[in-house]
Amino acid sequence: MKIGIIGSGNIGATAARLFARAGHEVAVSNSRGGEGLGTLIAELGGRARATGIEEAARFGEVVLVAVPFGRYETLPAEAFEGKVVIDAGNYYPQRDGNFAQLDGGETTSSELVASHLKGARLVKGFNTIWSEHLKQQGDTGLPLAERRAIFIAGDDEGAKQTAARLVEEIGFAAVDTGPLGEGGRRQQVGTAVYNRELSAGEAARVLSAG
C-alpha cells in the first residue's frame, strides 16, 4: 500500500520505519519540503521517499497526519480528498495555543481536523501511544488480545478497517472506541487509555468500565 506521512518527528518517522518494514511504500514529509530526511530515507531503502506535504498526501492511499495539532489548518485540504487519513494529533494548549471549542468541550481535535480536511475519511489513531513504545512494542508473534492496543475512532467503517489492518501488520491490535466524536473523546489526552500500556484484552475491560 502507498502511505503518505505528514510530519517526520517522533511519531511520523517511527511510523514510516514500521510501515516500510511491513512492506509498504512511504512518502515522508516535514515542514521543510522533505529536506533533512536523507538518513531516514536511506535507512528505509527503496520503499521510502522524501516529499513535500501536498505530494505526500496525494501519494498515499492512506495518509498519517503526525504534526503538532495546532498546525492542522495549514494542511492543503484538497490533496487529502478521498484518502483514509489517520490523525495522530493531540491537543496540548501549552504547545498548540488555546482553541476555545476544545477548552469548552464543544468538539474534539480530530473533529476539527476532519472539518478542515473535508472529503477525507478520517480516523483518529496512534495518538495514545508514546513514540518509543510504538517503536518497541509491536509483536506480530502475539495473539491479538495480548498485543499492545492502538485505539481507533471514526465514522467511516471501511477507513477504520484499513487503519486496523495497518495496526495489526506492525504488531499491535486495533481497539475501536466508536465514532469520531464520541470515540475520540474516549481516547484523548487525560483519558483512562491515554499513554497506558494496555493489551487489547485489558483495553476492552478499561473501556467498558469507563
Cα torsion angle, 36, 39, 43, 47, sign:
positive
User: What's the number of CA atoms in the CB half-sphere (13 Å) around residue 20?
Assistant: 22
Give min distance, CB of 165 to ligand NAP, in A.
20
Contact 57, 6 (CB under 8 A): yes
Give min distance, CB of 45 to ligand NAP, in A.
21
Give min distance, CB of 91 to ligand NAP, in A.
8
C-alpha cell at 21: 518494514
Identity of the residue, 74 or 157, whose beta carbon is nearer to ligand NAP in the bound complex:
74
Identity of the residue, 157 or 197, whose beta carbon is nearer to ligand NAP in the bound complex:
197
Interface residues with ligand NAP (CB under 6 A) are 6-12, 30-32, 53, 66-69, 71, 74, 88-90, 127, 129-131
Cβ–Cβ contacts within 10 Å for residue 140, how many? 11
Give min distance, CB of 133 to ligand NAP, in A.
8
Identity of the residue, 6 or 26, whose beta carbon is nearer to ligand NAP in the bound complex:
6
Q: Residue of minimal CB distance from ligand NAP?
A: 9
3-class SS of residue 50: strand
Q: Where are the beta strands (DSSP E) in 43-194?
A: 48-51, 62-65, 84-87, 121-125, 149-154, 173-178
Identity of the residue, 11 or 159, whose beta carbon is nearer to ligand NAP in the bound complex:
11
